[in-house]
Amino acid sequence: MYLKSTPPSRWRFGLFRRGVLVGVAVFSYPVNDRSITNVFQIPVADGVELGRLVLLDEVPGNGESFFVARCFHQLKREGIAGVVSFADPVTRVAVDGAVVAPGHIGTVYKALSGAYLGRSTPRTLRILPDGQVLSERTLQKLRAGERGTRALQATLLHFGASEASFATTEALQAAVRQLTRPVRHGGVHKYAWGFTPAVRKKMPRSLPYPDLAPLLQKPTI
């Protein structure tokens, strides 16, 4: 199982085996430009985020690192100077027990000699019954009446919200509290790769890689 959505992409690569697609990597615009500029000190357009990496189970164990390394090679040829990626160690499951997002700490990123930059700020997530995260940014868009929130409204209606839930901020907050469950998240792991000596020289120093302990904990339900 994996996330059903994909981020806004700049490059999409496929891994093929005997002519059959067995893996996909999506390099996307980051949610926050500072994810690029604070790490590499370059214009945001010169960096990308590895937003999705999915391979079929039949791919050999070294397939992920092989595939991503080839993607990096192509991105460098396209003028990209650096890549960031995030690893979420928390396994999320729906209320029926189905795994929605497997937790991982970035083992493949370590194999690719990525600089480990620690964890993001701890926060509390709101989890829908299907295991998806209801992000604060999406809620802000809904409160402000911005475009692109129709799917979220449909989702909340599907899980029991009423049309009146969207009338006021207070009503929306009440519906969110009723339909979601809070999960305290310790922060995602962050990795980065600079493609030139000049870019790497200005990057933060790599920290010790995380261990597997967080993945041995009980999945989040």
Burial 84-114 (b: 16+ CB within 10 A, else e): bbbbbbbbbbbeeeeebbebbbbebbeebeb
Task: Flag whether 195 is in a domain.
Answer: yes
Same domain, 162 and 193: no
Read off the pLDDT of each residue in 2-28 and give the average, rounded to a whole number: 86
The helix (H) or strand (E) run that includes residue 110 is helix 107-111
Distance separating alpha carbons of residues 22 and 55, to the nearest angstrom: 6
Dig out the tokens for 210 from the structure.
Answer: 């995380």
Q: What distances in angstroms separate CA 163 from CA 24, 99, 140, 175, one per listed residue? A: 38, 30, 18, 10
Structural domain containing residue 146: 135-179
Same domain, 99 and 189: yes
Q: Which pLDDT does position 212 carry in this prediction? A: 58
Same domain, 113 and 200: yes
Q: Which pLDDT does position 213 carry in this prediction? A: 53
Read off the pLDDT of each residue in 146-155 and give the average, rounded to a whole number: 82
Same domain, 194 and 107: yes
Same domain, 209 and 164: no
In the predicted model, is pLDDT for residue 218 greater than 60?
A: no
Bigger pLDDT: 93 vs 205: 205
In the predicted model, is pLDDT for residue 182 greater than 80?
A: yes
Among the ranges given (21-35, 61-75, 206-220), the one the predictor scored with the smallest mean pLDDT: 206-220
Task: Flag whether 28 is in a domain.
Answer: yes
Same domain, 199 and 102: yes
Is residue 217 very low, low, confident or very high in pLDDT (cuts 50, 70, 90)? very low
Same domain, 141 and 34: no
In the predicted model, is pLDDT for residue 53 greater than 90?
A: yes
Read off the pLDDT of each residue in 65-91 and give the average, rounded to a whole number: 96
Is residue 66 very low, low, confident or very high in pLDDT (cuts 50, 70, 90)? very high
